Structure 1
Amino acid sequence: MLDNTFVKGDIKETNTSDANPSNILEESPPPQFVTTRGKANQNNTSEDAILAFLAEMKREHSEQFGVLSAQISKINEQHTKILEQQAQLEASVNFISSQHDQLKQQVDGLETKLDAKIKLENDENRLYINELEDNIEDLQQKIRSKSIEVRNIPFHKGENLTNMVKTIYQVLSLPFDEHDIKDVYRLPSKDIATKPLILEMDSTNAKAVLLGAIKSYNLHNSQEPLNTKTLGLSGNKTPIYASDYLTKKAAKLYYLGRMLKRNHNFKFCWSNSGKIFIKKNEESPAIELKHEKQVLLMIMASQFLRSASH
């Protein structure tokens, strides 16, 4: 009842000149018109909201893309700088490597030159040392050229060596002249009981006479050569040996020479004025032994000839 009254009143106010109320109701159906307009407004609002949302998303994506592009650009710049630095580093390493190779070549060259120089100096020094040793050896041999070494005469405390020499001369039936003997003494030795006796003669002739007499005595008394008993010395009978007073080098060569005689078919080995000589046989020439290497080479040659003959 309220709704009809409201409609009627409204119609009256709106259409005062129209006397037929039914015509007015047919021309304008208000409920349906109001409902249709509200739905259209709702659709328009939803579309605007979606468009606004999409526009906002686009704007945000554009901003993010811009930031990302700036970051990528910055990374690319950093990467370019890194590549440049790497190239510079590689160039530096290559340069240092090249310098190292050049330096190594220079050092190797210097080492080669230094080694050659050291070898040359060593060879020269060795030759010079050998020359000095030979000169010293010659000087020692000259100093000892008048001396005789007598071995196996027992040592006695308080002994009179001059009287001992007189006894030797008497046994050999040689006239003794004190002026022929400049000095007589014993050498230091580990074996105190048999320290060698050194006779320094006044001349090489006096030395040769005494050594010749001893050799002759032993030849004529092969069953009883010169010994401690023939000299009237107490204790066990021991052979007495007399020879040149050799230097240490000559004594070693004399030992090696006797090895050649004993083991490698050399017939003679002797000393003369401090020098050592060997001979293969009566017809072969005498060979002076000067160095140990010389003896070793002769031993090797002898062994080679012996193996070749077999």
Structure 2
Amino acid sequence: MDSSMDKSFTDAESPPTYVSQRAKKPREDTQDSLTIQLNDFKKEIKEMMSLFSSKQEKELQHVSNTLKIIQQSNLNIENSIAYLTSQNEEFKKKINLLESQAREDKKYITILENKIEDLQVGCRKSNIQIKNVPKMKNETKEELIEMVMCLSQTLECKIDRSDIKDIYRVRGRKPQEQNSPIVVETSSALLKSEILKKGKAFNIKHKSKICSKHLGFKKQTDVPVFLSEHLTVKGSRLHFLARDLAKTRSYKFCWTAYGKVYVRKDESSPIITIRTEEQVQKLQLEK
């Protein structure tokens, strides 16, 4: 029987072995390992925080330095602006002073120009201009005097040679200009006015206005000739503008006398002395 049992155990699996185990206490080295790991973690966190803090300090230092530079730059800019503002105020004062001086100078220049104009008008008060007279070849003053004497006979205005103090032809602006004006300086302003008066009366009385044949020309006899006062450059300009004013604004009268220019709307209107171009412009704008 025993042999059969042994045989059955032999043929089959070995019988289980029952072993009892004791409960083990936690090992102290595990707790130490956790403590070490915790300490390492704390240390690592501290190092990270320290590194982060160090970086932050560097960044803050950099930002602080940058802010100081910006503040200094702003201070410099403020100082520059303050300096430029003070300079600007000085320039404004100087400009105002210069403008004021320029206005005073302009007034003084106008006064001087008017004085010069009056002097020129005074020097020309006895002069007449004969315009559009054909120019002769190798023209002499004697020939010019003969023209004036012939004209005086036509106008029935007695003139002696001694009444002609000087005579000359104005040089033309262009070399090819032939019919430049002839200036006749008479002995008195009264004689000048008489010649102009006779010339105006002749043109009203005769259909054939004053022309070159009345000055003794044998050729080019029908060239129209015009008598006028010897105006200054300013006077000539004002006379031109006044004539244009008379046409555009229907002024009935426009004339010159003793170097001055006058206009008049009609017989019942006041006489206006034209003194400046600005005055003509204002008259052009009047309703």
1:148 aligned residue? 128
**Once the two structures are superposed, what CA deviation does each residue of 1:40-87 show, in whole Å capped at 9, x if it has no partner?**
9xx99x957656765665565565445434423422432442343344
1:137 aligned residue? 117
Match of 1:178 among 161, 175, 186: 161
Alignment of 1:181-260 (within 5 A): 181-189=164-172, 190=174, 192-220=177-205, 222-233=206-217, 234-235=219-220, 237-260=222-245
- Confirm or deny: 8 A CA contact 2:211 2:221 kept in the other structure: no
Match of 2:101 among 97, 105, 121: 121
Task: Give the counterpart letter for 2:232 in structure 1.
Answer: T
- Confirm or deny: 8 A CA contact 2:250 2:265 kept in the other structure: yes
TM-score by length of 2: 0.76
Q: Quick one: distance in 2 between partners of 1:102 and 1:297?
A: 47
RMSD over equivalenced CA pairs, Å: 3.1
Pairwise CA distance, 1:120? 2.1
Structure number, greater radius of gyration: 1
Q: Quick one: distance in 2 between partners of 1:95 and 1:287?
A: 66
Q: Quick one: distance in 1 between partners of 2:71 and 2:115?
A: 64
- Confirm or deny: 8 A CA contact 2:252 2:266 kept in the other structure: yes
Structure 2: gaps spanning 5 or more residues? 1-21
SS of the residue corresponding to residue 138 of structure 2 reads: coil
2:62 aligned residue? 82
TM-score by length of 1: 0.71
- Confirm or deny: 8 A CA contact 2:131 2:225 kept in the other structure: yes
SS of the residue corresponding to residue 210 of structure 2 reads: coil
Structure 1 stretch displaced more, 163-172 or 57-66: 57-66
Match of 1:169 among 145, 148, 152: 152
SS of the residue corresponding to residue 213 of structure 2 reads: coil
Pairwise CA distance, 1:156? 0.9
- Confirm or deny: 8 A CA contact 1:155 1:192 kept in the other structure: no
Q: How many residues align?
A: 261
Structure of higher RCO (CA pairs closer than 8 Å, 6+ residues apart):
2
Structure 1: gaps spanning 5 or more residues? 1-39, 305-310
Structure 1 stretch displaced more, 246-255 or 110-119: 110-119
Q: Quick one: distance in 1 between partners of 2:148 and 2:154?
A: 10
